[in-house]
A and B are shown apart, each in its own frame.
Chain A
Amino acid sequence: MRFKVSWAAYAGIGHQQLGLPCQDAIAVERSARTVCAALADGAGSCASSHIGARCVTEYVSKLFQERFEQLWLLDDEALGRLVLDGCIQTLAQQEPPIREMACTLLYVAMSRDGRYLSGHLGDGVQILVGPKGSTVFSPPENGAYRNETFFLTGEDAPAHLRLGRGQLAGGGALLLMSDGMADSLYQYQTGTPAPACSVIARWLMEGDEQTVSQAILDNMRQIFSAHSADDLSLAAITWEDDLSNAEGGA
């Protein structure tokens, strides 16, 4: 499989007006064999959540890129524990108190033979775009109210980390997004993706990574920010069969 990845993050109007940084972060790591994209949305009420989001996305993307095969062999319980413990240990090395770095987490790691490992804690959405259209790969998890969700730093994090694994074949795309982006790309009433998900996936399938990353950012500035004052972040991974290299192909 050949992968392409585009991504962008944009400080929402609410944070721009207050002079606060974007609390969403994305990190992408890739090698010849694997690709991993991780996205985190820092808790609005935590002053250092942008640091937490950056640290955990860097940690998770590197972890899965470097150790995908080992992690694939773990059962979900052990894998979940390893991810959460690693994130907390990473946060503990930072200066702010851990509770001030609360954030959500979404990630997808894929190997060249089409196997994937994914994880999701809190809100935000993961969308799968395939030949027959787009479907929800992992839905948001909110608390009792829309502005309440679950964080990596919460005591209940193990209960809310949702793991996925499987095999993806042919061509397709996965979109990872924060809740701010989901306001534009996810229909909460029906739990379905907006048509724009397929459009963005097609851009990346047909275009180059940098152009599409810029296009995503332009849309955040001009289109998505009119739908949400929240921070916006989106990572898109596309894949297609690599006919020139049949190693492990599905």
Chain B
Amino acid sequence: MVRDTDHKFDGVSKDRYLLEEITLAENPETRVPIVICVDCSYSMRQEHRLERVMEGLEQFCADMARDQIARDSVDLCIISYGGASAKVESRFASPASLLSQGLPKLTAAGATPLADAVSKARSRLKLRLERYNDNGISNYRPWLIIIGDGDETAANQELRQAAAELKRESDAKHLNVLCILVGDETNIEYASLMQLSPDNRVQYLRDLRFREFFSWLSRSIQKTSQSMSGEEVNYEPTGTWAEVIEADS
């Protein structure tokens, strides 16, 4: 076998042995679908939480758009949940295209329809994966990121059902779920997010460190988009930007 380190043949091959690009396959970059659900309930006005989320999100898109592989891999959808129901603010798109069209302008008002956000996220993801499949595009395991500062307003059967579905998909390694909690340390509400978290962990974001969180997410997605067949991706610990709250703590 000829290996990279072998030099037993003199010189390089003649040009006639170099393949032309036109003879090669053109495979699209493997996609990393990400849905980010952003809490837009009234309480997100406090400490400018919502603005800080969007600043971090913009930074994340810029980081991804600069990365040679991730810019063609990342496929991002933004869902807001505030008021009576959740809303798809931005359909799946590349970070560069999101930046060029401008990130959605979110406003904080009303209640916290968390279960509806999960339902819409799952439904959008399902459609997107079907679209990939129809077009022969491969993908990495999708991400669902839920950012919030409070509990589901109408705690109900829907939330339990959403939690059970996320748990099932996560256990089957069909979905990465990350629950990010913001809010007043002395009065945090995390019961709903904890319920939705398949590993019974919520990442409490101290001091609204969204930039640090989105930087971590950028590195994680870069690792994912560069991972090779058979490689289990090991993400950095979240301790640099979050305090992990576990179900029994």
Chain A residues within CB distance 8 Å of chain B: 7-12, 14, 22, 25-28, 41-46, 49, 102, 104, 122-123, 142, 144-149, 151, 179-180, 182-190, 194-196, 199-200, 203, 210-223, 227, 229-231
Bound complex: CA A41 to CA B148 (Å): 43
> Smallest CB–CB gap between A157 and chain B, Å?
13
The reply to whether B173 and A7 form a contact with Cβ atoms under 8 Å apart is: no
Bound complex: CA A49 to CA B24 (Å): 28
B185 within 8 A of A: no
Contacts of A22 in B (CB 8 A): 3-4
Contacts of A182 in B (CB 8 A): 25
Bound complex: CA A179 to CA B226 (Å): 14
> Smallest CB–CB gap between A45 and chain B, Å?
4
Bound complex: CA A128 to CA B243 (Å): 55
Bound complex: CA A64 to CA B12 (Å): 33
Chain B residues within CB distance 8 Å of chain A: 1-4, 9, 12-13, 17-19, 21-28, 30, 69, 135-141, 173-174, 226-233
Q: Is the interface of B mostly helix, strand, loop or mixed?
A: loop
Bound complex: CA A45 to CA B224 (Å): 13
**Contact pick for B27, options A123, A188, A221, CB 8 Å:** A188
**Contact pick for B19, options A25, A196, A221, A229, CB 8 Å:** A196
The reply to whether B17 and A218 form a contact with Cβ atoms under 8 Å apart is: yes
The reply to whether A145 and B230 form a contact with Cβ atoms under 8 Å apart is: no
The reply to whether A44 and B227 form a contact with Cβ atoms under 8 Å apart is: yes
The reply to whether A147 and B2 form a contact with Cβ atoms under 8 Å apart is: no
> Smallest CB–CB gap between B176 and chain A, Å?
11
The reply to whether A45 and B231 form a contact with Cβ atoms under 8 Å apart is: yes
Question: Known contacts A44-B230, A145-B139, A147-B228; can you find 19 more A-B pairs with CB under 8 A?
Answer: A8-B3, A10-B3, A14-B226, A43-B229, A102-B230, A104-B230, A122-B230, A147-B227, A148-B229, A149-B229, A184-B24, A184-B25, A189-B28, A189-B135, A195-B23, A211-B9, A223-B21, A227-B24, A229-B228
